[in-house]
Amino acid sequence: MTVRPQRARPGSAELQALVDELAEGLGRSVAVDDPLIRMVCTSRHFGDEDPVRIGTLLQGRADSATVRYVLAQGVAQWSKPGFIDGRDDLGLLPRYVVPLRERGHLLGLLMVVAPDKALAGEEIRAIARAADAMAAQLYVENLAADTRKTDERTLVLDLVDANVAARTAARRRALELGLLGEADHVLVTFVQLCRGTEPVRQSEAALWAALEGLRQTRSAQGLIAIYQERAILLQLRDRPPGPDEVAAQSARVLDELHTFLDPSAAPVIGVGGRHHGLHDAWTSYEQSLVAARAARRLPSLKSVGDWDRLGEFAVLLQLPEHALNRSLVPKPLRTLDEAGGGDRLRDTLRCFLEHAGSIPRTADALRIHRTSLYYRLRQIQEITGLDLDDGAHRLTLHLGLRIEELLATGDDAGR
């Protein structure tokens, strides 16, 4: 029985015909994947199917472990065809892989199942002829898709523009085109990659793949703008999403990016504030940039910054990059850092301030006797010259500690 897949990215009838013709001529299973190893179209089986192929037919994409393995072979950078080894633990048979390129751009990957990693000369020539035709067809299809994405990107960038006139015109255009309906709440998410080893187009494809499933959901409708290593997801919602929903959405995006990209991409996500109406999308966007900056600087955030949960960091990160330096750390705190036992005393001070100056709770958290805590606090006051019973002095020290956290890791946003 011929099994046809549920396609993740449906190819045209013309591309499907080319795949079927090649497969029938070879008597081998053939598939065309996009550069992220997501299935575009595939032939019927020829008795050479493996668990990966069967699973891909059902899911529209190989599992994450298989995708990472194939991409790790560097196929996205290949300039000529080659074999990839099978992996018994993944249920993957060897494949002959042909990069489908047009005008220097990788448009997809032609994969031919080859269990013995051997192809006759005529088979290789037939595959090469088919690959040329497939690349040309993909190029035509991608031109139309790229035009739509460019138009959408322009619209999103105008919707979050600081210029009032640009935003107003963009809102009118979006509503006239029916791209966004009226909704009570808006949320903007910003995603940023470091400049890793993948080509820019590969990074852009990964960003699109990670975000496209969030354009239309049961609770949101949205638009996407992708430019090089950055992406904006603008969502309109009937209700503001809760922290757990935002965290789950961000985790899903990170998981996809970690599947498609090398670890050097180091993606971070910034989630803007929740606002009423599309007219405040630009505010949520500006906040998402700050949240992404926090995610890059603070390892404790685990690559996701949420404006609504940044607290005082949301204020400190409004400072321009050149101003966010060691000179902002108050002199009394720098004196404490330089003193003998400074690490222990600084940790004590941080715990004391985090517990609102409560002696019992601070002593419990540090697992020390209150007498020892009083002794350390007196040392801190003597070294810094500040009074820990004075609210302004406490604020000075607490802000200084927060600034030190931000300075602990440099901001890699420009990489």
Concatenate the DSSP letters of all residues of 51-105 into one string.
HHHHHHHHHSB--HHHHHHHHHTTGGG-SS-EEE--BGGGTB--EEEEEEEETTE
> Does 367 reside within a domain?
yes
> Does 223 reside within a domain?
yes
> Does 149 reside within a domain?
no
> Does 253 reside within a domain?
yes
3-state SS, residue 241: coil
Residues 128 and 236 in one domain: no
Do 404 and 394 form a contact (C-beta atoms < 8 A)?
Answer: no
Residues 302 and 333 in one domain: no
**What whole-number distance in Å separates Cα of residue 389 and Cα of residue 356?**
11
**What whole-number distance in Å separates Cα of residue 222 and Cα of residue 220?**
6
Q: What is the helix (H) or strand (E) element at residue 361, kind and residue range? A: helix 359-366
> Does 192 reside within a domain?
yes
* Number of separate domains in the chain: 3
> Does 353 reside within a domain?
yes
Residues 308 and 167 in one domain: yes
Residues 307 and 184 in one domain: yes
Residues 207 and 261 in one domain: yes
Tokens coding 185: 């709440």
Choose the final residue of a domain: 294, 318, 342. Answer: 318
Residues 96 and 169 in one domain: no
Choose the final residue of a domain: 318, 335, 366. Answer: 318
Residues 233 and 282 in one domain: yes
Q: Is the dihedral of CA 47, 49, 55, 61 positive or negative?
A: negative
Tokens coding 257: 């990016």
CATH number of the domain residue 167 falls in: 3.30.70.270
In angstroms, the Cα distances linking 235 to 62, 79, 147, 220, 225 are 28, 39, 21, 6, 12
CATH number of the domain residue 392 falls in: 1.10.10.2840
Tokens coding 114: 């080859």
Residues 247 and 260 in one domain: yes
Residues 87 and 188 in one domain: no
Residues 308 and 347 in one domain: no
> Does 284 reside within a domain?
yes
Residues 287 and 396 in one domain: no
Choose the final residue of a domain: 299, 318, 337. Answer: 318
Which residue range is the domain that position 54 belongs to? 13-140
pLDDT at 333: 92
Count CB neighbours of 203 within 10 A: 26
CATH number of the domain residue 128 falls in: 3.30.450.40
CA-based nearest residue to 397, from 358, 348, 360, 364: 348
**What whole-number distance in Å separates Cα of residue 12 and Cα of residue 7?**
11
Q: Which residues of the chain have pLDDT under 70?
A: 1-11, 180-183, 196-198, 341, 410-415
Residues 314 and 171 in one domain: yes
> Does 147 reside within a domain?
no
